[in-house]
Amino acid sequence: MLKKERQTYILHQVNLHNRVLSADLSQEIKVSEDTIRRDLAELADQGKLIKVHGGALSQGYHFSVHAQQVYALDEKKCIAQKAAKLIQDGMFVLTTGGTTIIELARALPPELKATFFTVSLTAAIEYMQHPNIEIILIGDKLSKNAQITVGGEAQAKIKQIKADICFLGTNAIDATHGLTENDWEVMQIKKAMVTSAQKVVALTIAEKVNTAQRIQVCDIHGIHTLVTELAPDSQVLSAYKKQGLEIL
């Protein structure tokens, strides 16, 4: 088994079980524990997992819904304010998860009357605060990492929906690589959403603009609107403007 292959396998196992033991992997793959350790160290360096004594844990495993601290909260609130204006009464809205989307949920006008489809537990809980919003939760396997449902069933359901607008909480966006992710399953869900919605809106803090991760969701033309906390005429965004994106 090649090194790359092995590392992909390890990563897959970590994301699947949220934890792996060096000893187990060594037996499964039939290489020495030292090799496994080196692999884990490398993957940890790349930020793909967290190495601990005895093995490794998946990235998101240690943070719980309860005490999660939101990074760059003010920026995200600002983005949410702008994005909320895109939603009209009666619309069918599709959303992913993530802290920016949570802020969007909180920024919605209380009397808004719309139907929200989501794969995110935490977003669904926020939407529940709004009396006139109908929520459809898209079910499937729950990814502990991303706190959203992922898998073939979910993708199929998303494809059945013809949504007016779709909001993507974004990890990385770049003019040449488009929208990118670091989790295969999450990418699949986002991809399904992009194809199912009339209008695709990416929400992202300035810090994540012009960064890329490993797996592409869609290229820059798959997105129609980009919402950041920056002013629309900012230098940073000119490349996106040229490509025809609406900037808010």
Partner DNA sequence: GATTAGTTTGCAGGTTTTTGCAGGTTTTTT
Partner DNA sequence: AAAAAACCTGCAAAAACCTGCAAACTAATC
Residue ranges binding DNA (CB under 7 A):
2-3, 6, 21-23, 31-35, 37-39, 41, 51-55
Q: Pick between residue 39 and residue 185 the one whose CB is nearest to DNA.
A: 39
How far apart are alpha carbons 205 and 211 in whole angstroms? Answer: 11
The least CB distance from residue 129 to DNA, in Å, is 19
Write down the least CB distance from residue 21 to a copy of itself, Å. Answer: 8
**How far from chain centre, in Å, is Cα 216?**
12
Cα-flanking dihedrals φ and ψ of residue 37, to 5°? Answer: -60, -45
> What residues have CB less than 8 Å from 135, skipping those under 6 apart?
115, 116, 118, 124, 127, 128
Partner in contact with 221, chosen from a copy of itself, DNA, none, beta carbon below 5 to 8 Å by kind? none
CB of 24 to DNA, least distance (A): 9
| One-letter identity of residue 20 | V
89 vs 24: CA distance, rounded Å: 54
Q: What is the dihedral of CA 39, 43, 49, 53, to 10 degrees?
A: 40
- Given CA atoms 175, 176, 178, 183 in this order, what sign does their dihedral have? negative
**Min separation Cβ 131 and DNA, Å:** 15
- CA-closest candidate to residue 223, choices 167, 171, 163, 185: 167
- The least distance separating a copy of itself from the CB of residue 165, rounded to whole angstroms, comes to 19
Between the CA atoms of 112, 116, 121 and 126, what dihedral angle is there, to the nearest 10 degrees? 0
Q: Which does 71 bind (CB under 5 to 8 A by kind): a copy of itself, DNA, none?
A: none
φ and ψ at 94, to 5 degrees? -115, 130
CB nearer to a copy of itself: give 22 or 213. 22
Residues found near a copy of itself in the complex (CB under 8 A):
2-5, 8, 12, 15-19, 21, 50, 52-55, 57, 61-67, 121-122, 124-125, 127-129, 131-132, 134-142, 144, 147, 149, 154, 157
- Binder of residue 41, out of DNA, a copy of itself, none (CB less than 5 to 8 A by kind): DNA
C-beta closer to a copy of itself: residue 10 or 230? 10
**Residue with smaller CB distance to DNA, 52 or 128:** 52
